[in-house]
Amino acid sequence: MENALYELARKRRSVRRYGKGHISDEVIREILKTALTAPTSFGHKPVEFYVVRDQDLIRRIGACKQMGGSQINGADAVIVVTVRTEDRRAAEFWIEDGAIASSYILLAAEQYDLGACWVHIRNRMGQKKTSDEEIRELLGIPAGRTVLNLVALGEKGEAKRPYKEEDLHFENVHFVE
């Protein structure tokens, strides 16, 4: 049987340089539709996405991460992945829930041949407060959410070699008899 997901996954690489091409809102919606199918603990669906297209705002989000935040400059869109950590039921698994949804975004972006990169936010510092606090303040994200990460999206501005069978760490796979 053809493994279509493997074919997609092996092409997905972190792309940190972007071209000038514009991603339509429709494609962004399709990508997020995929992310909304991601499994969440107990099916609580606590992950919320904030889509930012404005270039100045993207730069200001980048400034909320002291080290390396500027890497999102030039991305056509940034998806801020937040989780409703105020929800006691969801709080225990918030990292897992946000991370799985983010992985879906990365794969969905590859399907549209878009460049994408996970930019870490949890436990990172901004200019004065944590990156999470500064991003929430900047975007007016309601209380009770925590920012896990960003996903920067844009036309691919660098070519990355797809993974090949030889690149896979099959030594990490153990079949238990």
Footprint of ligand FMN (CB under 6 A):
13-14, 16, 68, 71, 117-120
Nearer to ligand FMN, 21 or 162 (CB): 162
- Complex with ligand FMN: residue 88 or 164, whichever CB lies closer: 164
CB 26 within 8 A of CB 108: no
The CB-of-152 to ligand FMN minimum distance in angstroms stands at 8
120 beta partners: 149
**Closest Cα partner for 23 from 159, 151, 162?**
151
- Give the nearest distance from C-beta 119 to ligand FMN in angstroms: 5
CA 46 to chain centre: 15
Residue 26 vs 166, nearer CB to ligand FMN: 166
HSE-CB at 108 with a 13 A cutoff on CA atoms is: 22
Structural contact between residues 13 and 150, judged by C-beta atoms closer than 8 angstroms: no
Minimum gap (Å) between residue 71 Cβ and ligand FMN = 6
CA atoms within 13 A on the CB side of 89: 8
Nearer to ligand FMN, 165 or 177 (CB): 165
Q: How far is the CB of 12 from ligand FMN (least distance, A)?
A: 7
